Amino acid sequence: MTGARQFTANVIAQGLARVLSIAANLVLVLAVARLMGAERFGNFSYVLAFINIAVALADLGTTAVLARGLALHEGDARAHYLGNFILMRCLLAAAVMLGGLIAAWLMPHGVQAALLVAALGVPVLASRFFEPIYQVYGRPWLSLWSNLSFGLSQLLVALAVWQFPHIGVTPVTVGYVASNALYTAVAFGLMRRLVRPRWRPDARLLRAIIAVAAPLGVGAMFTTLAIRADILALEHFRSSVEMGYYSAAYRILDIAVFFAVTLVTPLIPILSREIASDPAGALRRSRMFVQFACILALPVAIVVPTVAVELVTLVFGAAYAPAAAPLAILVWDVVLIVLALIGSAINLANGEVDHAYWVAPGGAALSVALNLWLVPPFGMVGAAWAALGCQVGMLIASQYYTLARFGNIYEPRAWRRIALACAGLSLALLLLQPVGAVLAAVLALLVYAGLVVRLKLLPIQLLRLLRDARAARRRPTP
């Protein structure tokens, strides 16, 4: 399978799998938000923030390293690498679980029981590393089954919330952990159909994995702290209700972020091989990727502030209308996150990871400082500005290494045309306001689509990738 076909098949497979997970998880989140109220939704969001920090610690950057490591090994060496990777992840998860239990015991008593359940569930909550295995072994479609099991179990939890809206946060957390346990069991069984990991510990190999993963792990840990500091600050300085509104805004944007992750993840093993064999080709592919991603992300950031109230009301109900204010700011975070994800994938594939030792801790320090400054007086709006400021600082620092060590991934002529299309979108949105916010947004997006086509902004290679997708699904992998 060619690199283009492989990438397309991987993106489609992982995209469909993530759609299953995201859609079911969104149903659960909406059920909690609409039926349990803003305060308990805020408490549940606090538990999810705790889970995200624990998962980042248990991952320690190793999932990204797994995709690269598997791509660079073959046969028995690959099975040996995989076995040592899983052993290391089990040890990390056990250590984080113990630390999480201690931290949960010291956390606010209103959600202490739920946090203890989450801490006990860390080994399965941190098990989302199977997709790169399916990808490298040429069976990316297997991820559909594990994510389908997760999605169905999430829907069952949502059904329980619908039947018993006064249920507490702790039972919902139990259901959340159980759905991840089912995912882990199914995913592990599918992996065993492809490869039987060799479980013999290899100190040299473990040190090699940790050497590459350590800076990424430090980066992931502090990046998670940076992007969750706003939730922690809101809980401490404001109220669970305001945290619920803010979390609702974040949840709307999660779909866009997950879409970006789905597109970027399959790029890592492909770029790892291509950088070694054809650096110029890797740079061309990366430029195409950045261009396409921003063509999709920028209009979202421009249009959403206009329809923020309508969007929040549609998704969460009229009670969550105050979430529109932070949403109008946070939507620009999506563009920055997309660029950060692509840059991180390129840096990892290029072996440029040591800068994470200082970029992410610096970002976390900046986030804490901004939240301490802005949250007490401005609440969730201040938290949104703090999140945006932190993301800008971290992106500038990490992009330096991408541009200096890999090449300019922003093709100047294409970006002049992108700027022109975005200017046309903004002008159309302004002129069409008398017809109403929603209709103005729809018509302005149509104008933008026309400009994208007229200015020939869609990279022609993408059409070839899409054309090859159907053939990639039908053709057996050699």
* 117, 225, 381, 338 alpha-carbon torsion, rounded to 10°: -110
How much is the average pLDDT of 239-261?
77
pLDDT (tens digit per residue) in 451-475: 998 888 876 655 554 444 444 444 4
How much is the average pLDDT of 232-236?
80
Structure-model confidence comparison of residues 10 and 42, the more confident one: 42
Q: Predicted confidence band at 425 (pLDDT cuts at 50, 70, 90)? A: very high
- Number of domains within the chain: 1
Which residue range(s) make up the domain with 179? 3-474
Q: Predicted confidence band at 263 (pLDDT cuts at 50, 70, 90)? A: low
Q: Predicted confidence band at 386 (pLDDT cuts at 50, 70, 90)? A: very high
Q: 171, 88, 71: which is closest to 126 by C-alpha?
A: 88
Structure-model confidence comparison of residues 342 and 452, the more confident one: 452
pLDDT (tens digit per residue) in 138-180: 777 788 888 888 889 999 999 999 999 888 899 999 999 999 9
**Predicted local distance difference test score (pLDDT) of residue 478:** 41
Is the pTM here over 0.85, yes or no? no
- Please tell me the distance from the alpha carbon of residue 347 to that of residue 345, in angstroms, as a whole number: 6
How much is the average pLDDT of 57-68?
76
Percent of the chain with pLDDT strictly greater than 70: 82
- Please tell me the distance from the alpha carbon of residue 85 to that of residue 235, in angstroms, as a whole number: 36
Q: Which of 55-69, 250-264, 380-394 comes out lowest in average pLDDT?
A: 250-264
- Please tell me the distance from the alpha carbon of residue 441 to that of residue 429, in angstroms, as a whole number: 6
- Contact of 233 with 378, CB cutoff 8 Å: no
Structure-model confidence comparison of residues 406 and 348, the more confident one: 406
- Please tell me the distance from the alpha carbon of residue 356 to that of residue 342, in angstroms, as a whole number: 15
